[in-house]
């Protein structure tokens, strides 16, 4: 269902990733005219799997995309953690009916490419959304009534507002926040996806399973209805390389997991080529808007992947932004202030909690023993119990009064 605003706005969105397309779809669905500016020659995604918590499925329901997502997602029966050196089970949290009972929405996993495609097709179905490729935003200017965006090649586009959804290295953020380069965490991630037939049956597991160890962890789970198997290995490293598409060093990876249990080593050995990226985030900020320009997703609040919420928080952003514009009747500057006011504490909490969970997963010595003891006792949980505030999500219909 679309909602015609009092005055349709002409909105520019910088970035055609999941956050950019999600915002374009929500804003277009609300009746605004949206132009998405993607710097690449085609719309596409790289990366591996994404975990989708109940808070994200709540957004899919609001956007009418639940069926489209469910057709390409996988719904694991549990979320578990084992010790990477001893193999002992630290904790397992049932999902499936347990997630539905607790939150009314499921917990799923999806191939990043597939989620991006869902939003791309949703945008393509709306005539008021224009999708432009080879349109890298070089600079922008604004006055009291409009924003002018200059793209590579010299062309200038104008709109009522600009949404910067251009990721961790956002050029829009440079102007709006001006806080320099992202914070390098010292953690590096190797990712790969296997076909089901390439995974021996004794190594296959339908759960989202994390093997945690000293400054290392491996997480794996099925993708695309169980046709694929996603693996992400993370360890502490001094290496630094901007971007998401760099080939990894297999020798370093094997050295970091040299003390792992045999099944972990066997899984790692099934991968011939790994892509790697350096994990970065930023300090939470309270303001990411400047009059008719605002930020969304990683451009506003990049976070480490330990809570699997990066894409989900960008989708929540998109919904809140559209609702803020609806509430203000299209008053851009007022809406952008309401949008960030409604979001900055929640996204900041996710950013900081993700750092903390990285420490939990990579604990050693007494910290490791204490983690295992607490999780096994049931008094603390790596799953739903400690993250109810996050998985409860937001109520799109009652954001502003």
Given a contact cutoff of 8 angstroms between Cβ atoms, the answer to whether 1 and 98 are in contact is: no
Determine the Cα–Cα distance for residues 172 and 208; give it in Å rounded to an integer: 35
Structure tokens, 3: 């909602």
Determine the Cα–Cα distance for residues 18 and 65; give it in Å rounded to an integer: 14
Q: Which of 169, 181, 204, 196 is nearest to 298 (CA)?
A: 169
List active site positions.
221
Cα→Cα distances 113→4, 65, 320, Å: 31, 16, 24
pLDDT band at 273 (very low <50, low <70, confident <90, very high): confident
Give kind and range of the element (H or E) at residue 77: none
- What average pLDDT does the chain have? 92
Domain boundaries, the chain: 10-181+282-394
DSSP symbol at 272: S
Given a contact cutoff of 8 angstroms between Cβ atoms, the answer to whether 199 and 262 are in contact is: no
Region 10-181+282-394: CATH code: 3.50.50.60
Give kind and range of the element (H or E) at residue 200: none
pLDDT band at 371 (very low <50, low <70, confident <90, very high): confident
Determine the Cα–Cα distance for residues 33 and 249; give it in Å rounded to an integer: 45
Query: Which one is predicted more confidently, 303 or 254?
Result: 303
User: Which of 127-131, 132-136, 237-241 shows the lowest per-residue confidence on average (mean pLDDT)?
Assistant: 237-241
Determine the Cα–Cα distance for residues 322 and 58; give it in Å rounded to an integer: 16
Determine the pLDDT at residue 382: 46
Determine the pLDDT at residue 100: 94
């Amino acid at each position: 269902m679309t909602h015609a605003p009092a005055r349709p706005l002409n909105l520019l969105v910088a970035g055609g990733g999941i956050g950019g397309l999600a915002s374009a779809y929500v804003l277009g669905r609300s009746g605004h005219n949206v132009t998405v500016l993607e710097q690449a020659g085609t719309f596409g995604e790289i990366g591996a799997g994404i975990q989708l918590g109940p808070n994200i499925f709540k957004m899919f329901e609001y956007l009418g995309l639940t069926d489209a997502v469910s057709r390409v997602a996988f719904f694991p029966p549990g979320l578990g953690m084992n010790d990477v050196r001893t193999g002992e089970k630290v904790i397992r949290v049932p999902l499936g009916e347990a997630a539905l009972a607790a939150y009314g929405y499921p917990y799923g996993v999806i191939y990043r490419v597939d989620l991006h495609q869902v939003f791309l097709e949703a945008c393509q179905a709306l005539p008021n959304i224009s999708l432009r490729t080879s349109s890298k935003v070089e600079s922008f200017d604004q006055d009291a009534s409009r924003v002018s965006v200059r793209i590579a090649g010299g062309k200038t586009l104008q709109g009522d507002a600009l949404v910067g959804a251009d990721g961790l290295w956002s050029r829009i953020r440079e102007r709006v926040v001006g806080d320099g380069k992202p914070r390098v965490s010292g953690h590096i991630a190797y990712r790969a996806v296997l076909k089901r037939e390439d995974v021996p049956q004794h190594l296959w597991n339908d759960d989202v399973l994390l093997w945690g160890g000293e400054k290392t962890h491996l997480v794996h789970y099925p993708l695309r209805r169980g046709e694929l198997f996603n693996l992400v290995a993370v360890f502490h490293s001094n290496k630094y390389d901007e971007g998401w598409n760099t080939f990894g060093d297999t020798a370093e990876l094997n050295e970091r997991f040299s003390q792992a249990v045999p099944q972990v080593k066997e899984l790692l050995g099934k991968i011939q080529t790994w892509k790697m990226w350096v994990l970065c985030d930023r300090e939470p900020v309270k303001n990411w808007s400047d009059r008719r320009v605002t930020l969304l997703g990683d451009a506003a609040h990049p976070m480490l992947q330990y809570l699997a919420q990066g894409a989900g928080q960008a989708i929540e952003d998109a919904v809140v932004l559209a609702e803020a514009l609806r509430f203000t009747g299209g008053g851009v500057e007022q809406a952008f202030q309401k949008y960030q006011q409604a979001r900055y504490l929640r996204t900041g909490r996710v950013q900081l909690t993700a750092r903390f969970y990285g420490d939990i997963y990579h604990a050693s010595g007494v910290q490791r023993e204490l983690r295992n003891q607490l999780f096994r006792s049931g008094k603390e949980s790596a799953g739903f119990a400690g993250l109810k505030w996050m998985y409860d999500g937001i109520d799109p219909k009652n954001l502003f009064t």
